[in-house]
Amino acid sequence: MVITADGPCRPLSSPAMPELPPRLPLAILPTPLEPAGRLSEAWGGPRIWVKRDDLTGFGLSGNKVRKLEFHFAAAHNAGADTVITCGAIQSNHARATALAAARVGLRSILLLRHKPGLTPRLEGNLLLDALAGARIRFITPEQWPHRDALMAEEAERRLASGHRSWVIPEGASDSIGMWGFVLAMRELADQMTRIEGRPAVLWHAASSGGTTAGIAWGADRLNLANPIVACSIGDPAHEIETKVQSIWREAASSLGAPVPTISVEYDDKHIGGGYGVVKNDDLAVQAEATALTGLVLDPTYTGKALTGLRREIAAGRFTRDDNIVFWHTGGGFAVFAHDFSRTVSVGDPVEPPA
């Protein structure tokens, strides 16, 4: 059943904000905001808080399910029996889409980027895609720029055989998926009342732009004073900003509402070799963070964003008087598709008691 997202959250203060679109509940919400005291102490910087979107569910772990709640409601209202989306071969979004589709009884088709000539390894998110019964089509890096057209072609083929499809863009990042994080900002705004001192910097991994667009739109409408940092995990800063601005314009046009005027910092200093390229130094920071917090980090997204935060702290950007809310966007299954062998080792065996 589709419901409207009007739960017991802080009401949006701007009269320009209408009711949220219909949503299909999929996530376990609200997710907690937790202090990471040992991490703060070890890194010698600000007080770090973690927004635990890795706890939105087990298979549906991560930020993507917040956006999918709105897309699946739209698919339901459109009478679709199939959802089509795209992503990298270890896409958290594709995995969440496949599992959500299986949960509500829809078919799923995934267009996954993969280099030709290489046999895909059935591990991490890709394994879960297959277990969820998704139909998987591999597309080449050269085809990737045409992914929207390729998904539209898939939808036309399905329609010719009597099936209606709902196409979800990369990362569910558009003026529909964005509302997942507008709603999330209502949730976080109430939780941040526990934080004393300076307004917390909202630090999060940025890629397809939907998470950033929703965070900033919600913060703007709630009149929050929190600085927002979109830490790119692959694309140049101006490309992330362009994606966000495009989503805002589309949403504003459909609503007859103003585009947000809030400032967002787009940080691309920590992208390294680009999307999905994670160096041993990055993995070492992520392993250290897991040892200090018990949190499992996706090396491509949360891990790289946390590595960026670690470097900014080391450079002296933040002091002990600052607060940071690090948005853990989940995706822990991808850790099983990376090689940590050069950064961690199995310790000596424990001696049995005498």
Residue numbers annotated as active site: 91
Residue with tokens 């140049």: 236
Query: Across the chain, how many H-helices and E-strands are there?
Result: 10, 12
Burial class (CB in 10 A: 0-12, 13-18, 19+), 27: buried
Dihedral (Cα; 74, 114, 208, 18), 10-degree rounding: 0
DSSP at 148:
H
Burial class (CB in 10 A: 0-12, 13-18, 19+), 253: exposed
Burial 305-337 (b: 16+ CB within 10 A, else e): bbbbbbebbeeeebeeebbbbbbbbbbbbbbeb
Strand arrangement of the beta sheet that strand 82-88 belongs to: 135-139, 107-113, 82-88, 165-167
Q: Which of 62, 45, 87 minimizes the C-alpha distance to 316? A: 45
- The 8 Å CB, 24+ separation contacts for 249-256 are 250/174, 250/175, 251/175, 251/178, 251/213, 251/217, 254/175, 255/16, 255/18
DSSP at 173:
-
> What are the φ/ψ torsions at residue 305 (nearest 5 degrees)?
-65, -40
As a whole number of angstroms, the distance between CA 223 and CA 262 comes to 9
CA 211 to chain centre: 6
Q: Rounded to the nearest 10 degrees, what angle do helices 64-77 and 210-221 cross at?
A: 90
DSSP reduced 3-state for 228 = strand
The residues, ordered by sequence, that sit 6+ positions from 185 with a Cβ below 8 Å of its Cβ are 214, 215, 217, 218, 219, 222, 224
